[in-house]
Amino acid sequence: MAKIAIVTDTMSGLTKDEAESLGVRIIPMPFIVDGKEYFEGINLERKEFFNMLENDLNVSTSQPSIYAVREVWDELLQEYDCILHIPMSSGLSMTYEMANNEANTFYQNKVYVVDNKRISVTLRQSVIDAKELVDLNYSAKEIKEILESVRSESRIYLMLDTLKYLKKGGRITKTAAALGGMLKIKPILIYEGEKLDKFRMRNRTIENGIDIMLDAIKRDINGFLKEIDGEVNNVKVGIAYTDSNKDKIEYLKSKIREQLGNIEIVDSPLALSIACHTGDGALGIGITKDIPLKYTNKKYIELKQNIREELQYK
């Protein structure tokens, strides 16, 4: 079988140590701060980034240059037969389109770019799923098709501490932001694959916001996720957080298990490319499903097929 490399970007929230453990290459997302370019995890650490936001510096997101992406691809192709590239969702960035055009033009049958509309903890899970599928001897083309076939099997709810950055990004009016600030509203956004949209704008405390997100998660699990295969015990939960909310993680985990039972939970820092639009104090919950059994049972299926062929031969 072909030797496959997996590439993603820092939007996945994977730490450097996690990526190294998985054998995954991460491309850092760039930022422009007062005209100067920074790269997440390279010359821009989280504490420094949030200080920049707090001090109202002009911080904006960008995308990796195609030259930086090609440099990673060319290096990996000296060791691997092909590459599975899993960038952030095309609904939020041109990163996918740029990489896909380059792959189709210059790296045919060598680089396969996946667009399964995911970000943060759900993108992180896609990378882990890809690793599992590689270990099951699927080809890069097959893995791309599998990941894109389950693109709708995820959702994220994200609670913010302030309306400041929604106003700055033009998502709400100055009047609404001012009123929300007076009422100490902590808005909740929803991500379903294309863009971050307003979900609930009336909660005022972290505890209240967590309850609202958990109610929504339970409806999703017993609603559209259950409709996929009739199962609810194959759901995974991811927690995304910014630095000032690290101390809320254990509380949130206990609330999740209290309401959803002994479910698999992972936590991961919220990617700075998202935090740029939310500010510090964001706390999110993402849900995905396991890879369908029809794919993970491939080895068993192949074994049965081999047995059938042997019996027919005899």
Query: Can you tell me the mean pLDDT for 296-305?
Result: 63
CA dihedral 237, 240, 245, 251 (to 10 degrees): 0
pTM over 0.85: yes
What pLDDT, on a 0 to 100 scale, did the predictor assign at position 168?
Answer: 62
What are 254-288's pLDDT values in tens digits? Answer: 999 999 988 889 999 998 888 888 889 899 999 99
> Is residue 258, in this structure, part of any structural domain at all?
yes
If one compares 101 and 40, the residue with the highest pLDDT of the two is 101
What pLDDT, on a 0 to 100 scale, did the predictor assign at position 103?
Answer: 97
What pLDDT, on a 0 to 100 scale, did the predictor assign at position 288?
Answer: 95
104 in the same domain as 175:
no
189 in the same domain as 130:
no
> Is residue 300, in this structure, part of any structural domain at all?
no
Give yes or no for residue 4 having a pLDDT over 60: yes
Instruction: Label residue 179 by pLDDT band (50, 70, 90).
Output: very low
Give the DSSP H/E element, type plus range, for residue 112: strand 111-113
Contact present, 222 and 287 (Cβ < 8 Å): no
Cα–Cα distance measured from residue 85 to residue 100, given in angstroms and rounded to the nearest whole number: 9
Query: Can you tell me the mean pLDDT for 24-40?
Result: 91
> Is residue 314, in this structure, part of any structural domain at all?
no
Here the tokens at position 155 are 């959702």
Cα–Cα nearest to 194, from 269, 96, 276, 101: 96
Lowest mean per-residue pLDDT among 8-22, 138-152, 169-183, 228-242: 169-183
What's the structural domain count of the chain? 2
**DSSP strand pairing (82-86 vs 111-113):** parallel
259 in the same domain as 165:
yes
What are 97-151's pLDDT values in tens digits? Answer: 999 999 999 999 999 999 989 999 999 999 999 999 999 899 999 999 999 999 8
Residue corresponding to tokens 């699927």: 138
140 in the same domain as 40:
yes
Instruction: Label residue 308 by pLDDT band (50, 70, 90).
Output: low
Query: Can you tell me the mean pLDDT for 190-210?
Result: 80
Q: Which residues form the domain of 53?
A: 4-149
